[in-house]
Amino acid sequence: MNSLLDIQKKLLPDLLDVMVKRYRILHYIKLMQPIGRRSLSANLQLSERVLRGEVTFLKEQGLVHFATSGMSITEEGEKLFEKLEEMMKELLGLRELEAQLEKELGVRQVTVVAGNSDKDEWVKREMGRACISQLKAIINPKDVVAVMGGTTLAAVAEMMKPDAKTREVVFVPARGGLGEQVENQANTISAELASRAGAQYRLLHVPDQISEEAYSSLVLEPSVKDILRLIKSACTVIHGIGDARTMALRRDSVNSFIDKLNREEAVAEAFGYYFNRRGEPIHKQRTIGLQLDDLGEHKYVISVAGGASKGEAIAAYMKYQPSDVLITDEAAAEALLQLRR
């Protein structure tokens, strides 16, 4: 495959450029369908005149369907896209990025999707699609899957589709989250995953951040003890990795705490822990739910984080505790490798 692509790059570079362009159009329609031509043009940064010719060609080939609600990909288009996907990863250099990151970060498996989720929202959906594909590859009936909150995990939930393997799975929030935006709470995301998968879910109705006194009281509540036992039994954990300052501001942290993060050069946050550039935890917030110490050898951990701005955060967290799988995007992968140079 690599040798054939090398020959094509030399002899037919224009043909490959056309194929990449049409693949990207199919890809975006698949993720955002139904979508109008104007929106597609803006997001792909193609003129409407050029795009009109391309989507007309795809329609004539039976790959795209036009309707008043917008364009969508046909069944034949889906099949062609799946056949193209692996080859396009080679052609776009994503396979090489994955291999380099696996070596540099010590992560068993890295999946890199094209794009930069800092700039394009659809890239989060593509990371979500990759995460769901990975989840379905490793889960078993009756497994418990714990999920964290955040915008990236919300995109993961959007990409879930029913599957025979997921129907007996139980989705649970990995931690409390009352007080955050509802759509980004772990409770909401676990319920959405279960709803789209036709599976079961349980909720944890406690705040994300609490005092020591409140924590001691809440963990003794029978209903909380019951759901915590279920959460800690999870065999798969899906979580994001946040920028330390962004996460602190999102949680309305006091100025003195933000000053501490700046002073100690905190760059990453995950599971309520803040990490400096060396991957050392410099602060832990009291939360109810999964802790880093709970991520032992019996849990399969999938980290999902992307965007050029997340390079330092991902690098710091992986220094502390490499995950089984990292799903990221092209911009974050390039930023990570740049940090290692």
| Whole-structure pTM value | 0.85
Residue 284 in contact with residue 262, Cβ under 8 Å? no
The answer, yes or no, to whether residue 341 has pLDDT greater than 70, is: no
The answer, yes or no, to whether residue 336 has pLDDT greater than 80, is: yes
Cα separation, 19 vs 21, whole angstroms: 5
Residue 292 in contact with residue 301, Cβ under 8 Å? no
Residue type, 24: R
Residue 332 in contact with residue 303, Cβ under 8 Å? no
User: Over the stretch 282-334, which tens digit does the pLDDT of each residue have?
Assistant: 988 877 788 888 887 689 999 999 999 999 999 999 999 889 999 999 999 99
User: Over the stretch 20-74, which tens digit does the pLDDT of each residue have?
Assistant: 888 888 888 888 888 888 888 887 878 888 888 888 888 889 998 998 888 999 9
The answer, yes or no, to whether residue 12 has pLDDT greater than 60, is: no
**Which one, of 288, 303, 283, 285, lies nearest residue 175 by Cα?**
288
